[in-house]
A and B are shown apart, each in its own frame.
Chain A
C-alpha cells in the first residue's frame, strides 16, 4: 500500500478507529498496532514477514540480554553479536551480488577469474530501515539510554510500526519505547498539525515530485544526449526538488499518521536547501539517518576526538558507508564520497583563521554565496545518485555545457519546480500560525477542508502514483 492510495486511506481510517477504541487497554492497543503493521507489510509481500518478525524478535531478545548483563564485557559482546547478525542480514539481502561482482571486477584485472554464478537475493521492502531500527535498539540499550526493561512486544512494534516501516524516519529506541510504556492520551492530539503534515506531504509527493519526475527528470536522465544545457540544468534542479519532495513528503505523511495515532516521530527534514554549509545540510537532510550514522558509526569510529586526519577519515568512512546504505552501486558510493569530501573541505575551510576571511564569512553576501555554492554541490551529488551508471552521470554533466533551448520548461513544470525549491523558505511561523488558525474552525469544517485539499491534490496530480524513491533503499 502506497500512502497516496485509496487502499491506504481505508486501511488507516480503520486502524485509527480501532486503535483509539482500544486505547484504554494498553497491551491490546499495542498488539493491535503490531498486527496492523504486519498486515500493512504483508500486503506488499507476505513472504518477507518472517524476516521482519525474526529481526525484531532477535533484536528484542538481544536487547534484553544486554540490559540483564552485569559486566561491560558481556554487554559489549551481546551488542557486537547482535549488530553482526543484523548487518549480516542486511548485507546478504542488499550487497551479495554487489560484493561478488566487485570481487570479479578486481580479479579480472589480474587475470581471468573463475566462473562464479553471481547470486542476488530479492530485496525485502524496507530492509535497510528495519535493520537500522533493530541496531538502534541494541545500541540504545548498550548505552543505557533505554531505562526500562525492554518488552518483546514493544521491540516488535518499535521495529515494525507501519508509518515508518518502509522508509523511515528511523526512530530511536530510546525515544520511542517510552511512548509505548504509557497509555495514549486521548486529549492531547495534534490533529491540525497531523492533517497539515499529511496534506502537505501528499502535495509534495503527488504533485511536485511526480510531475517533476515524469515531465522533467526522467526524460533527461534517460536520454541526456537528446537535451541541451538548459533542459539538463533544469532536470538536475528538478531532481533536487523531486527527491526532497518525494522523501520529505513520505515522512511528513508518516509523521502525521503517527500523530493521529498518538505517537511522536522526530522531524526528518528541515528545509535542507537553505543550508549554508555541508554540516548544516546534514543537520537538515534525512535527519534521522544522519544522526543514526553519527551516533552509531561516526562516534564509535572516534568522531573528531582523535585528531584532524582521523576526523577527516572518519567523515569519509561514514559518508561512503552512508552512500552505500542507499544502494548497492558505485554511483551511490560516489555520492557518499562527494559529501564526505564536502564535509572535509568545509572543516579545512573553517579552520582558516585569517582575519579578513573571518569577517567576510560573517556577511550576508557570503552566507548567500555559500548557500548557492552548497546547493550546486548537492546537485552535483544528486546527478550521481540519480544516474544508473557513471556514463550517464558524466553524460548529464557534459550536456550542461551544450547550448540548447529549455524545451521541457513548461508553465506547470516551472511552477512545481519553484514550489518544490522555494517552499523550503516559507517561515515556520506560517505553518504554526495556520495550525492555530485551524483550531478556530469547527471540527467538521476542518475535516471538510482536508477533504477538499486532498481532492484538489488528486485532480492536480499526474495519473498513477509512482513508488517513493526511498522504497528501493
Chain B
C-alpha cells in the first residue's frame, strides 16, 4: 500500500525540485518578469538576481528552445501574441526558416510600424533588449540614452508641456464615405478603449455598411512600459493588412508609473520621465497616423480616486501636448459628457425623468456602457453622418459637437492652447 500522506522533508524535496527546474525552464521568463516590475525595492532585488540566473543558464539553450516552441505554437494558431503571429506569418511568406535565436532575429516587415518605428519583439528578455535599443538613443540631448524611437524625434516629442487641456468635443469633418468602400476605423488603446467604449461603438456600428471596425486594443497595456507591452510592435500586427482611415485612441490609464531607461530609474512625474513619455506618445501617434489616418485622441476622463485623477490629468496634458502638434490628430475631450459641471468625476448622471444613469464603471476608472454610449453617439455621427444632417442645435456642448465645426477650428484651438502651454511652461521654468 502506497502512502498518500507525506512529511515536510518530502515537501522540501518536492519544492526544491520544483524551484530548480523552474529556474532552468523559466530563467528568461523570470528575467522578463523582473524587468516588467515597477521601479521599487522588489525590482531592485529581482532584476540582478534573475539576470544572474539567466546568464548562468543561458549556455544550456533552454531559452532558445522555449522561443522555438512559442513560434511553433504561433504557427498552429495557438498563440495570441500579435507581434509573434505577424513575425511567423512574415517568415512563412518569405519561406524562410525561423532563426534559432529570436533575440537576434531581424525585424519582420509585418512587425514594423508603418513609419518604420517598430522593432522586433517576442515577449522575452532578448526581444525586450532588442526593443529597448531599438527605441533609440539618438534624439534630444536631454533624453536619457535609449529612449528615442529611431532617429529624429516625432512631432510633439519635445513640445513644451501644456498647462491645461481643452474640453473640446469638436471634430473636423471627414471626407464623405466613398460609395462601395467602408470607412476603416481602428480602435486603439488600453482598457479605457477595451472596456465600454469599444464594445458600445462596435454594437452601434454593427449594422452600418459604411464602417468597418478594426480592433487594436489591449487591456493592461500602455505606452510607459514598452518592455512589458510594446505598442510599436503590437499595433501594426493587430492591424495586419488593414489600412485605417480613422484611428480612435484611448490610452494612458496604466501609465502613471515610473520606468527604467538605460538602468536609470525615472520616477513618475519628473522632467526626465515626462520627456521620455512624451517621446513615446509622439512615436505612437506618428505610427498610428502613418498612412494618412485621421486620429481622434480621446482624453482620459476624470477618475474617482484623487491621487489617480491627478496622474491622469498630467497624462492628459502630455498627450494633448503631443496631439496638438500633429496635423492629422484631433484632441477630443469627453469630460463634458461624463464629468460633472466642474469637470470632476461623476459616477451617476441624473436623467430628465429623474432616474440615475451610471456613466462610470464601479471601479471608478472605466466608462460604463451607458457612459460610453454618450461618447459613441457623437463619434458615430461624425464617422458616418446621416445623409441630410440637420443643422446644429445650439443647446450645449454635446449638440455643438455633434455637428463637426470648420476644419480650421481645431487647428486654431491647438495654436491657442500651444501658446498657453508655452506660457505655462515658461512660467514653470
Contact = CB atoms under 8 A, between A and B. Distances in A.
Contacts of A105: 355
Interface residues of A, number: 67
A192 B6 CA distance: 9
Contacts of B17: 443-448, 450-451
B70 A436 contact: no
A233 B20 CA distance: 45
A116 B206 contact: no
A101 B355 contact: yes
Interface stretch (B7-15, B159-167, B280-288, B309-317): B7-15
Contacts of A454: 22
A179 B30 CA distance: 36
B206 A455 contact: no
B14 A6 contact: no
A436 B358 contact: no
A107 B16 contact: no
B73 interface: yes
Interface in A381-422: 388-389, 410-412
Contacts of B15: 13, 16, 447
A191 B16 contact: no
B206 A223 contact: yes
A53 interface: no
B263 interface: no
Nearest to A100: B356
Contacts of B218: 464
Interface stretch (B133-141, B196-204, B379-387): B196-204
B2 A104 contact: no
Interface string A444-473: 111110111011001110111000000000
A386 B21 CA distance: 39
A88 interface: no
> Which among A117, A389, A440 has the highest number of chain B CB atoms within 10 Å?
A117
A427 interface: no
Interface stretch (B75-83, B329-337, B398-406, B421-429): B75-83
Interface string B279-300: 0000000000000000000000
Contact of B7 (A189, A215, A222, A460): A189
A412 B77 contact: yes
Contacts of A459: 66, 69-70, 73
Residue picked from A6, A104, A410, most chain B C-beta under 10 Å? A6
A65 interface: no
A460 B8 contact: no
Interface stretch (B92-100, B142-150, B346-354): B346-354
A16 B363 CA distance: 33
Nearest to B304: A122
A190 B355 contact: no
Interface of B: 2-8, 10-11, 13-22, 24-26, 29-30, 33, 66, 69-70, 73, 76-78, 80-81, 123, 198-199, 202-203, 206-207, 218-220, 304-305, 347-348, 350, 353-356, 358, 362-364, 369
24 contacts: A97-B356, A115-B350, A116-B350, A118-B347, A188-B5, A189-B7, A189-B8, A190-B4, A211-B80, A223-B206, A226-B202, A410-B77, A439-B3, A440-B2, A443-B17, A447-B20, A448-B17, A450-B18, A451-B19, A451-B21, A451-B24, A458-B29, A459-B69, A459-B70
